[in-house]
Amino acid sequence: MDVREIELRRVRMPLVRPFRTAHGVEHERDVLVVRIATDGADGWAECVAQNEPTYTSEWAGGAHAVIRDFLGPLVLRAPVTADGVAARLAEVQGHPMAKAALETAVLDAELRTAGRSLASFLGATRDRVECGVAVGIANSIDALLDECAGYLAQGYRRVKLKIRPGWDVEPVAAFRKRFGSVPLQLDANGAYTLADASILGALDEFELLCIEQPLGVDDLRGHAGLARLIATPIGLDESITSARVAREAIEMQACAVVCIKPGRVGGLLEAVRVHDVCRDRRVAVWCGGMLETGLGRAANLALAALPGFTLPGDLSASDRYFDRDLTEPFVIEDGHLRVPDGPGVGAVPDRDALRDLTTAVEVLTRA
């Protein structure tokens, strides 16, 4: 694939409600959209780096800069296929989310040129994906329960609650009291330490699908120790940065469930390899969300339709986050989202939305 130019577009996406996490509150997303131009077709991708380097070390502005100054010129240097992007970019250390955006854009262009869908290419076995919803830390338990009630009324099949020290047992107990046996998992975003094992163990009685990332990102040994102290399955998210790390974590018995986010592992192709490692070892996986627009959600849905994704993911409908999406909105139907079956990722940005929401554009060409 001969990439003639790379367009880096910053898009301001207001959120329908503040998204509270263990790291703070977001009111809007600063989205980096990548478009590549080739002789066959344009390829599109969304970089999932967040507004600030609080979730990971990457952020939208940094991803823009590293693509402009380092990664983009490597892609423009000579023709490259999607399965060769990772090797081409390997001389630049780190920046998996920026690399993932470029790989996805090249793959999208390849598949559009061939008239083939991403879902078919990745090996999807379903045409729709069961949906869960992630709910941030609320101002009060009553507010949290009312928010969850709204999502369950819309048809979401699983709820994931964010927790942190001081906001854990009480809201979970309240959720169970009000909603009974609704599938529930928790996400700690690394907010606890092994010294908190007794607190985390107190959550065992609530029959959770898992506690996601209770300890620090680099603490696989601690997670393995915690797994021996509590009955609730441990899920790993931020710790899983590659198929190799997934294999090591499983062999250490540091997790019983894995969250796969393509941006975090460096791209869709590595995400499939993580899926394969987990499936071979009978470890359940789900597809995590990063507050994507429809462009990123379309790619995630194709991935989540693979056979090893046996748990509902965080792939919510467009109106969960945005009044106006960048693409045709994704709508939940009977607790599911449809997997796009058009060429490439199956979605392209709406030109009017791009025009109205864009804050900056930069185009890279060969020197």
- Supply angle C-alpha 52, 55, 59, rounded to 5: 35
Host domain of residue 15? 3-115+351-365
More confident residue, 232 or 1: 232
Q: Examine the residue annotation and report whether 162 is marked as an active-site residue of this protein.
A: yes
- Collapse the DSSP code of 318 into the 3-class scheme (helix H, G, I; strand E, B; otherwise coil) and give the result: helix
What gap in Å lies between CA 145 and CA 19, rounded to an integer?
A: 15
How many CB atoms are located within 10 Å of the residue 231 CB? 11
pLDDT band at 367 (very low <50, low <70, confident <90, very high): confident
Statement: residue 22 has pLDDT above 70: no
C-alpha distances in Å from residue 273, one per residue of 92, 253, 283: 21, 19, 13
Name the β-bridge partners of 99: none
What gap in Å lies between CA 282 and CA 256, rounded to an integer?
A: 9
143 shares a domain with 41: no
Statement: residue 21 has pLDDT above 90: no
* pTM given for the model: 0.95
- The answer to the question of residue 345 being in a domain is no
Pairing of strands 358-365, 128-130: unpaired
DSSP state of 52: S
pLDDT (tens digit per residue) in 293-314: 999 999 999 999 999 999 999 9
Nearest to residue 72, comparing CAs of 50, 94, 88, 52? 88
Here the CATH number for the domain that contains residue 208 is: 3.20.20.120
Identity at 22, one-letter amino acid code: A
What gap in Å lies between CA 356 and CA 73, rounded to an integer?
A: 29
pLDDT given for residue 278 in this prediction: 98
Quick one: tokens of 37?
């131009």
Q: What are phi and psi of 28, to 5 degrees?
A: -155, 160
Pairing of strands 284-287, 257-260: parallel
Handedness of CA 257, 20, 319, 61 (dihedral sign): negative
30 shares a domain with 11: yes
Statement: residue 26 has pLDDT above 80: no
pLDDT (tens digit per residue) in 129-159: 999 999 989 999 999 999 999 999 999 999 9
324 shares a domain with 191: yes
125 shares a domain with 107: no
- Collapse the DSSP code of 126 into the 3-class scheme (helix H, G, I; strand E, B; otherwise coil) and give the result: coil
Nearest to residue 64, comparing CAs of 365, 367, 361, 366? 361
- Collapse the DSSP code of 151 into the 3-class scheme (helix H, G, I; strand E, B; otherwise coil) and give the result: helix
- The answer to the question of residue 75 being in a domain is yes
What is the chain's mean pLDDT, rounded?
Answer: 96
> Is there a contact between 135 and 148 (Cβ–Cβ < 8 Å)?
yes
Here the CATH number for the domain that contains residue 91 is: 3.30.390.10
pLDDT given for residue 20 in this prediction: 61
- The answer to the question of residue 344 being in a domain is no
Summarize the confidence of residues 202-217 as an average pLDDT.
97
Nearest to residue 309, comparing CAs of 260, 244, 269? 260
3-class DSSP string for 206-247:
HCCCCEECCCCCCCHHHHHHHHCCCCCCEEECCCCCCHHHHH
151 shares a domain with 246: yes
pLDDT given for residue 25 in this prediction: 73
pLDDT given for residue 55 in this prediction: 84
Which residue has 């910053």 as its token pair?
Answer: 10
Nearest to residue 312, comparing CAs of 191, 134, 187, 177? 134
pLDDT (tens digit per residue) in 239-282: 999 999 999 999 999 999 999 999 999 999 999 999 999 999 99
355 shares a domain with 314: no
Contacts of 351 (CB under 8 A, 6+ apart): none
Statement: residue 290 has pLDDT above 70: yes
C-alpha distances in Å from residue 39, one per residue of 42, 67, 73, 83, 112: 8, 21, 18, 18, 11
pLDDT (tens digit per residue) in 155-188: 999 999 999 999 999 999 999 999 999 999 999 9
Quick one: tokens of 91?
């001389």
Number of domains in the chain: 2
Quick one: tokens of 250?
């499983």
- Supply angle C-alpha 54, 56, 58, rounded to 5: 95
C-alpha distances in Å from residue 60, one per residue of 207, 360, 361: 37, 12, 13
128 shares a domain with 9: no
Quick one: tokens of 332?
């939940």
pLDDT band at 17 (very low <50, low <70, confident <90, very high): confident
> Is there a contact between 104 and 267 (Cβ–Cβ < 8 Å)?
yes
Statement: residue 23 has pLDDT above 90: no
- The answer to the question of residue 11 being in a domain is yes
DSSP state of 204: G
Q: Examine the residue annotation and report whether 160 is marked as an active-site residue of this protein.
A: no
- The answer to the question of residue 300 being in a domain is yes
36 shares a domain with 16: yes
pLDDT given for residue 27 in this prediction: 86
pLDDT (tens digit per residue) in 61-104: 999 999 999 999 999 999 999 999 999 999 999 999 999 999 99
